[in-house]
Amino acid sequence: MKRFALAVLTLLMYSALNAADAPAARPANQFITLGTHGGPVSDRNRSEPANALVVGQSVYLIDAGDGAVQQMARAGLSLAAVRAVFISHIHIDHTGGLFAVLGLRHQMGVQGKLQVYGPPGIKAMVDGLVAAIVPEAESGYGVAGEDYVPPQNTVEVSELRDGASLKLDGLSVTAAENTHYSFPKGSDMDRRFGSLSFRFDLSDRSIVYTGDTGPSDAVITLARGADLLVTELADPAFAETFVSSGPGPQPKRAREMHDHMINHHISPDQVGQMAAKAKVHRVVITHLVAGRDPNIDTAPFVAGVHKWFEGPVEIAVDLNRY
């Protein structure tokens, strides 16, 4: 019981610190861009992809890139308030912070199971992360008589396929398989892995998060009439740097990275076309892949979207609220 008491004390202190830093009042539902940089290379000005959907007192993480827990603290959100995590796909820039989410939640003694939803492949990843928590869980705080809580008992994983839907407190969620991978349909790789976009229907509005995707009719259908489209964007000119001369990846890997950037991500024009066809009301661009220049002019990206889409367009920065 001593370990439980220590965990409760830690949780109370953590919650109090977050409450002290939190804004005095917030709208009931908010979408917060915790991290807006498209990896895998880290950026000094933008954290890796992560978002928080705040519904009343509950927090739903949508992707959990490196630094997600720290970004939550900066946003005034408590880890104890996280009810579920939605992972769009298992690339490390979108999942690197998931270990901290699971491990710190266990260390704090948060009660109940955390639900993790994601595409095929997410269960194997979470199983590995949970196994990595076991040595710390067994050693605990080093206090005699501590209770051991198996990390496996603190998380539950559900793998979702195209068209999956579920209802949680305050929202409905629909998933669509996008085109971030191009495995042949029905192949072993297609069965084992996937990439999802999510639609969140709330009491006051609808929000669609593309995750990483190439052009996709399924995502357009998912986003039909949404109030807010939160979409990735990749600069095609940056993709060409992978095949330019000079130091960098080996030629074969460089070509693979180039092809992935061109075919499995979307350009400003493609964002605009998707938004116009889906008739969304507003576009927010995150997961910006445009090089490492902190002073890059993003106005041309917005202009590219506006060639096709007449509504409001904004390039998000870390900790923006919508």
Domain range list for the chain: 2-321
pLDDT at 24 over 70: no
pLDDT in tens, 40-87: 888 889 999 999 999 999 999 999 999 999 999 999 999 999 999 999
Residue 18, pLDDT score: 47
Residue 63: closest CA among 268, 267, 230? 230
Residue 238, pLDDT score: 80
3-state secondary structure 136-180: HHHHCCCCCCCCCCCHHHHEEEEECCCCCEEEECCEEEEEEECCC
Summarize the confidence of residues 235-258 as an average pLDDT: 72
167 residue type, one letter: K
- Angle formed by the axes of helices 2-21 and 98-108, nearest 10°: 120
Task: Match domain 2-321 to its CATH number in 3.40.50.10190, 3.60.15.10, 3.40.190.290, 3.40.1190.20.
Answer: 3.60.15.10
Summarize the confidence of residues 14-27 as an average pLDDT: 46
Which of the pair, 262 or 101, is modelled with greater confidence? 101
Provide the sign of the torsion angle of the four alpha carbons 153, 73, 47, 234, taken in this order. positive
Kindly list the strands in the beta sheet with 29-35, ordered across the sheet, starting from the edge strand earlier in the chain. Answer: 155-159, 114-118, 82-86, 58-64, 50-55, 29-35, 320-321
Q: 241 by DSSP, 3-state: which?
A: helix
Residue 4, pLDDT score: 44
Which pLDDT band, with edges at 50, 70 and 90, does 244 fall under?
A: low
Which pLDDT band, with edges at 50, 70 and 90, does 168 fall under?
A: very high
pLDDT at 11 over 70: no
Residue 108: closest CA among 74, 90, 82, 129? 82
Residue 230: closest CA among 118, 169, 300, 314? 314
Residue 293, pLDDT score: 80
Residue 282, pLDDT score: 98
Instruction: Work out whether strand 82-86 and strand 313-315 pair parallel, antiparallel, or are unpaired.
Output: unpaired
pLDDT at 257 over 70: yes
Residue 211: closest CA among 236, 184, 233, 189? 233
Residue 259, pLDDT score: 85
d(CA 289, CA 298): 11
Opening angle at CA 320, ends 64 and 126, nearest 5 = 5
Residue 313, pLDDT score: 98
Cβ pair 177, 194 in contact under 8 A: yes
Residue 275, pLDDT score: 98
* Structure-block tokens of residue 61: 């993480």
